[in-house]
Structure 1
Amino acid sequence: MGFYDTLSVTLALIAVLAMILLSRNGWKIAARFSGNRRSSGTLSMEASLVLDTRRRLSVVTWEGQRFLLLTGGPNDLVVSGTYPLASMEENEA
């Protein structure tokens, strides 16, 4: 086996091991390097409740506003309009 064959086998083994590790811990590693997503005003799902086999009630945050969405029926509905996020101090009072 020549030098290039050994190098090819070694790189293939490293690639397979990297894929295995990323499949197990990839989201944790990606989240660590992505920074704080909440401060950037992106879309995030806070909670979800399954109502029946088709419908789901979800609380979604988008750019500092919360929306209550009913999805999965014949049409999707915004059950509750926007209301601003409350700070932790307001929740404790």
Structure 2
Amino acid sequence: MDAMNLARATFALLFTLGLIGIAAVLLRRFGPGATLRLPGTTRERRMKVIETLVLDPARRLVLVECDGESRLLMLGEGRELNPPARKPEV
């Protein structure tokens, strides 16, 4: 391999790494959620986690507020352990 091919391969590697770096900077700056950071595009969140309490390694209690209404959920093993209370139908 002569010096010209070595220089060409080195510059190609540097160019590729530079493109990857530029893409990373652009994604960090304009990536997901960038529209929420623009002025005038903020919106009110409907749901928020108020508090969590770990009961044991497999279960936890989560207090969630949605549309001004609080719900207490018991989560475990990746699923909800208690179904939400339903209002009786009349």
Normalised TM-score (structure 1):
0.47
Q: Which structure shows the bigger proportion of residues in helix conformation?
A: 1
